Amino acid sequence: MKHLNNLFEMKSNKEKISMVTAYDYPSAKQVEAAGIDTILVGDSLGMTVLGYESIVQVTLSDMIHHAKAVRRGAPDTFIVVDLPIGAVGINDESDLKNALKLYQATDANALKAEGAHLISFITKARAMGIPVVSHLGLTPQSVGVMGYKMQGATKEDALQLLNDAQAVKEAGAVILVLEAVPSDLAALISERLTIPVIGIGAGKATDGQVLIYHDMLNYGQDHHAKFVKQYGDFSQGVSALKHYHEEVRAGQFPSDAHTYKKQILGELE
């Protein structure tokens, strides 16, 4: 299993880190078999596998349920699990209780928390022994306020993002995810921070990249962001299902090759 120290060594050696989301046992098995460095059990599971309108509906119980399945499918991979909206940012007692519950129940290697406003939580979680991955830039849990758009586009916003990145690192964040920020800004942040910086829509100069499993494999997704590249096409599953439906209707399936043939009727008489 890759450990946090391995990821720091990869940054130090300028070896790129790969991260892919996974939400269940079979996808996690595939990701581990492919040799991906890290798995993110993201709250994006709300839309990709649960059919919610947004991640706002995702609960702590949802995250625990899916993260446990991912760990069973990828026992030897470094796994990061999202803290869903409302799980932290309330008060110290509640935040740490929820974080500890998620961390213990899922056997995660780290938890991910969105936003620079969670500096205090990162510090306290680190003191408790829970590694925290920070997520800055476009933070999906806050799109109701910020919208789906590039972040750090103005000089003022870029400086704020630089300061926030340094602040979460100093608070104890072990990894930083940067989403939808200009590539030159992401490069500067990656250069300045001593912790690994994983980008999504942040250019190639970050220490690693993350993509959503369902986006990169065109699996049930109707819309793809600019930064998504498709590496496969699972949408062909509809054609396969139609073929199955037609064969059942026509009496072609199951054929003899898919049928148990031992004759026992005579023995029953």
Active site residues: 179
Cis link prior to 84 (omega < 30° from 0)? no
HSE of 251 in the Cβ direction (CA atoms, 13 Å)? 0
210: left (phi over 0), alpha (psi -120 to 50) or beta: beta
Rounded CA separation 89/170 (Å)? 18
Cβ atoms of residues 208 and 177 within 8 Å: no
Q: What is the DSSP letter of 72?
A: H
**What does the angle CA 77 – CA 82 – CA 85 come to, to the nearest 5 degrees?**
175
Please report where in the chains the tokens 């760990």 appear, as a residue: 71
Cβ atoms of residues 166 and 199 within 8 Å: no
